[in-house]
Structure 1
Amino acid sequence: MIHPSVIKKQRRVVLLLLALIILTAVVGMGMGYSSLSYSRIIPTLLGQGSFKEEFVLFSVRLPRIVITLLAGMALAVSGAILQSITRNDLADPGIIGINSGAGAAIAVFFLFFPIDVGNFVYAIPAIAFAGALLTAILIYVFSYKRTTGLQPVRLVLTGVGFSMALSGTMIVLISSAEREKVDFIARWLAGNVWGSDWPFILAILPWLIILIPFTLYRANKLNLLGLNEPVAVGVGVSLEKERFTLLLAAVALAAAAVSVTGGIAFVGLMAPHIAKALVGPRHQLFLPVAILAGGWLLMFADTIGRNLTDPDGIPAGIMTALIGAPYFMYLLMKKI
């Protein structure tokens, strides 16, 4: 049973994160290459703005804010799942190569297959999922030993190797491609939020609507998977079945996110750790906090990055790496 004081603390943290999300969203609506007066945001949202104000808000700012919020949430849940099923605090879909697998699949599709503009937006999450799933299976196979089972440190090192290899493969693939396609893949690699339009939101939203509630429903199973294997088996958990099912959910969430935001790393690493530090390690408590923290982190990184330089700004992937890489090194040093 969860102590009432812990539940109250979780609610306070959730309210604080919701306030941060709203504040960051409001700041993001006003900041940018074409500024929008903060006094005009509410009238414009209510349909009382000028054509320019409505275009800037509804066609440029709001879709990007919503995309980064949803993608950050998906990456946070994916990271939390991976950390639990591997019992490795360093696991993250960007670090262990799942994002790179999704990116390689998108690059191959974009470069070598005819693209139907009408269906491209909705097909790209499925293509990213196929590439990410194949990569995840290969990483799992290379990290697993029959005598000792899954090796957490080996999984991270194998994933980093796959990530570097796949990134190199994408560079080779685009070396002789058309300039327009090269620019697209380069922006994807840098984590530049390219799917900043309403159809992209509709493309990834079904994945989140299904998989995030599913993960919350399986929170107790994740608690048990975080224990050692004999204990989990002793309480009746089917280890391989649960790991595989939850791995599919983690891969699908990460693929859906990076299919529209590009190669974003470290959000899935940081958000679960922040949540655990605030409300404890039980998944029923920290998963809702991690979801909000991940959404806020990516939205905040993108808001800051796109306003640092004109007109394109700094990609969100670079901003999250600047924050997350030192944190990853800190965690790695704690493990050694």
Structure 2
Amino acid sequence: MPHNIKRYRFILFTMFVALLLAIYLHLTSGAFTMTTLEVFKTLLRIDSTDNFDLVIFDFRLPRIVTAVIVGMGLALAGVVLQGITKNGLADPGILGINAGASCTVVIFMYFFQIQLVNVEIHSIFKIIVIPIFGFVGGVVAAAIILAFSYKNSRMDMQKLILTGIAINTGFGALTLFWSLKMNADDYQAAAIWMNGTIYNSNWYFVVAMLPWVVLLSIFVYRKCHLLDYFQLEEDSIISLGIALEKEKIFLLLASVGLVSACVSVSGSIGFIGLMAPHIARQLVGISHRAVMPVSMLIGAILLVFADYIAKNVFAPAELSVGIVVSIIGIPYFLYLLVKAKG
């Protein structure tokens, strides 16, 4: 835990308030205008109407909850990957895990003819199993990365990053190939989904990914002390009796599971896993027990605010939330590159 507990609790409280503010803005804005009083009456079931119920419970709340869960999942995966690789520029998108998960989901969409931006009730079972297909793609990407990044029974972090970039490109090309084989309607839906979008979210999507994110978050948090040890020299870690390579693989698979569950619902959204851990470390230091909760809150805030911007800037048209996050994330990534070079 951080040395200054009061500061840590204040930061957590501030992040929580910022998240509530983002949720409030998202709930009260959109093509169907609602006042704050009308929103609260609808949520508390006081003089609610069918129109208000439809807007809040069928459209806005599932979208917000999805943004919160996806933001937290991607941020936590970023913390794990940066801890394993000891590289502050590691991100699920940059390492190719997003691309692997996206590729198998697109193949699933092709063979089962499901449109993740226009899901009907008869597709509920397909929605539930989509994270499994995403996990398979993420694991394949991770396995290829690991196969090429081991040197003398040790994981070479430089090779890990370079292989990840190559895998990202390869799976991106494969995803494009399968999407081009779709009919026009399915291709349009797949293209929107691949850019990162949550405007189509519903409660079935939430149910599909929530168990993955909750269980894997608990597992990763229980292992957070290992990420602190991983910052030491490898010989020092082994001397402490830690099965270094085995623990790295377990944590890597957990991060793959987190990313796959999120990608299966939201498409490929980059940079959340890059930005959130960096901001968290600047606020609370390097202890992963403190970094993880703050990073998850920051990830949720970033994605809810990004979706709020995507929904309202060009209303009634909408941007993909992945594009909005990229507009924010690319300058931040360049800033980190310049900082690392300096």
Into which bin does the TM-score normalised by the smaller protein fall? over 0.9
1:263 aligned counterpart, secondary structure: coil
Give me the whole-angstrom Cα distance separating, in 2, the residues matched to 1:43 and 1:323. Answer: 35
Normalising by the residue count of structure 1, what TM-score does the alignment of the two structures yield? 0.95
Amino acid across the alignment from 2:221: L
2:91 aligned counterpart, secondary structure: coil
1:128 aligns to 2:134 (yes or no)? yes
Question: Structure 2 regions of 5+ residues with no counterpart?
Answer: 115-121
Counterparts of 1:35-184 in structure 2 under 5 Å? 35-47=33-45, 48-113=47-112, 117-146=123-152, 149-184=154-189
**Cα deviation, residue 2, structure 1:** 4.8
Residue equivalent to 1:213 = 218
Question: CA 1:297–1:84 in structure 2 vs 1: closer, same or farther (change >3 Å)?
Answer: same
Give me the whole-angstrom Cα distance separating, in 2, the residues matched to 1:167 and 1:276. Answer: 31
1:28 aligns to 2:20 (yes or no)? no
Residue equivalent to 1:295 = 300
CA contact (8 A) 1:224 1:237 kept: no
Give me the whole-angstrom Cα distance separating, in 2, the residues matched to 1:76 and 1:195. Answer: 22
**Cα deviation, residue 114, structure 1:** 6.4
Give me the whole-angstrom Cα distance separating, in 1, the residues matched to 2:157 and 2:339. Answer: 14
Residue equivalent to 1:15 = 13
**Cα deviation, residue 54, structure 1:** 1.1
Give me the whole-angstrom Cα distance separating, in 1, the residues matched to 2:140 and 2:161. Answer: 16
1:311 aligns to 2:316 (yes or no)? yes
1:125 aligned counterpart, secondary structure: helix
Normalising by the residue count of structure 2, what TM-score does the alignment of the two structures yield? 0.93
CA contact (8 A) 1:81 1:250 kept: yes
CA contact (8 A) 1:216 1:284 kept: yes
**Cα deviation, residue 194, structure 1:** 5.2
Q: Output one character per residue of 1:269-301: Cα deviation in whole Å (capped at 9) or x when no partner.
A: 111111100000001111110111111111111
CA contact (8 A) 1:195 1:260 kept: no
Give me the whole-angstrom Cα distance separating, in 2, the residues matched to 1:113 and 1:202. Answer: 20
CA contact (8 A) 1:195 1:261 kept: no
Amino acid across the alignment from 2:214: I
**Cα deviation, residue 144, structure 1:** 2.7
Give me the whole-angstrom Cα distance separating, in 2, the residues matched to 1:219 and 1:146. Answer: 26
CA contact (8 A) 1:44 1:53 kept: yes
Q: Output one character per residue of 1:85-121: Cα deviation in whole Å (capped at 9) or x when no partner.
A: 1111111111111011001000111102466613111
1:190 aligns to 2:188 (yes or no)? no
Q: 2:276 aligns with which of 245, 257, 271?
A: 271
Give me the whole-angstrom Cα distance separating, in 1, the residues matched to 2:155 and 2:177. Answer: 32
Q: Output one character per residue of 1:112-133: Cα deviation in whole Å (capped at 9) or x when no partner.
A: 2466613111001111011011
Give me the whole-angstrom Cα distance separating, in 1, the residues matched to 2:199 and 2:129. Answer: 15
Q: 2:207 aligns with which of 195, 202, 205?
A: 202
2:270 aligned counterpart, secondary structure: coil
CA contact (8 A) 2:113 2:186 kept: no
Residue equivalent to 2:118 = none
Q: Output one character per residue of 1:31-90: Cα deviation in whole Å (capped at 9) or x when no partner.
A: 112222222111010123221111101111000000000000000110100111111111
1:328 aligns to 2:333 (yes or no)? yes
- % of aligned pairs identical? 38
**Cα deviation, residue 165, structure 1:** 1.9
May I ask how many residue pairs the two structures share in their alignment?
333
2:319 aligned counterpart, secondary structure: coil
**Cα deviation, residue 158, structure 1:** 2.1
**Is 188-197 or 272-281 further displaced after alignment?**
188-197
1:88 aligned counterpart, secondary structure: coil
Question: Structure 1 regions of 5+ residues with no counterpart?
Answer: none
